[in-house]
Chains A and B, each alone.
Chain A
Amino acid sequence: MKLIIESISENEAFARTVVAAYITRLDPTLEELADVKTAVSEAVTNSIIHGYAGKHGKIEIRCEIKNRELEVEITDFGVGIADIEKAMQPLYTTKPEWERSGMGFAFMEAFMDALEVYSEPGKGTRVVMRKEIGREEQDA
């Protein structure tokens, strides 16, 4: 599944709802749904606020299901991140005046099984997240 959206804040809810709908076939628990929605919301918000800094641009959201694992890739073509490690530190933010909590990446890490961040200044940022859905049910 591939979705391309404009970088406006109205689209944040749309993006996470589409990804949530995409994984319904895996019969996720309410908790898993909330986890995925939060992680997608964080990544898309990062693209809007940091990647494009309020300017217009496109955000690509690609989803794939392999066995019971969801892979979500969220890409923007904005300013990029010079120091990814620093950006991923909890509570670190480049926009404290915008009341950013600096917890975006921490939430993505906490709510998904795996997180990869690729970025190049001036070119953009790509975030890849993976999560196995319905694991608890399988174990039972």
Chain B
Amino acid sequence: MEGWSKKKGEETDMAQFLEKNRRYRKVGDCLVFYLAEELDHHAAERFREISDSLIEKEQIKNIVFDFTGVKFMDSSGIGMLMGRYKKVMFSGGRAAVAGVGEVVDRIFLLSGLYKILEKYETTEEALENMQK
């Protein structure tokens, strides 16, 4: 299992880790995040740190969260996604999810998140739509 951790006093850049492991990709003014296995409070906190710095650094308008690799998500994931949505929305951007599996789909439906996040089968489909 791939992981990322940061020990006190250790200089590790999560953005670099993600880039090296191809966990995100920039297409035009869209940023695609390939989320990993379990999106709980622990993972959401770490993800939030790096995603915000990337969104600012790369001058991102729209974001796509690719859920293909995600097997678990709880309400911490919902909070994290809502936070990123608000961030891009304020600058006129859009946020989408793609490749959502059955387990995560139930969480999305229950939370009403599909009302604010666009849903696509694949990331390619999302990118095509968002660059229109």
B80 neighbours in A (Cβ, 8 Å): 99
Mark contacts of A93-109 with chain B using CB atoms, 8 A cut-off: 1 yes-contact digit, 0 otherwise: 00000111111101100
CB distance from B111 to the nearest CB of A (A): 6
Main DSSP-derived SS at the B contact region = helix
CB-based contact A110/B110 at 8 Å: yes
Taking CB atoms, residues of chain B closer than 8 Å to A103 are 75, 78, 111
Q: Cβ of A126 < 8 Å from any Cβ of B?
A: no
Name A81-117 residues within 8 Å CB distance of B: 98-104, 106-107, 110
Known A34-B72, A38-B107: A13·B79 in contact at CB below 8 Å: no
Interface size class of B (residues with CB under 8 A): 20 to 34
Distance in angstroms from B105 CB to nearest chain A CB is 11
CA distance A38 to B73 in the complex (A): 7
With known contacts A38-B107, A99-B82, A101-B82, A45–B74 Cβ distance under 8 A: yes
- Bound-complex Cα distance A12 to B74 (A): 11
How many residues of A sit at the interface, in one of the four size bands? 20 to 34
Chain A, interface SS category: helix
A45 (CB) vs chain B CBs: closest residue: B41
Is A42 located at the chain interface by the 8 A CB criterion? yes
A9→B79 CA distance, assembly (Å): 16
Could you tell me if B74 and A34 are in contact, using CB atoms closer than 8 angstroms? no
For A10, A38, A49, A110, which residue has the most chain B Cβ atoms within 10 angstroms? Answer: A38
Task: Please state if B48 and A99 are interface contacts (CB–CB under 8 Å).
Answer: yes
**Interface residues as binary, A10-41 with B (CB distance below 8 Å gives 1, 0 otherwise):** 10110010000000000000110010011001
Residues of A participating in the B interface, judged by any CB pair closer than 8 Å: 9-10, 12-13, 16, 30-31, 34, 37-38, 41-42, 45, 48-49, 98-104, 106-107, 110
Q: Beyond A38-B72, A48-B41, A101-B78, list 19 extra A-B contacts (CB 8 Å).
A: A9-B41, A9-B42, A12-B40, A16-B72, A30-B103, A31-B106, A34-B72, A37-B72, A41-B40, A41-B74, A45-B74, A45-B75, A45-B76, A101-B75, A101-B76, A101-B82, A103-B78, A106-B110, A107-B110
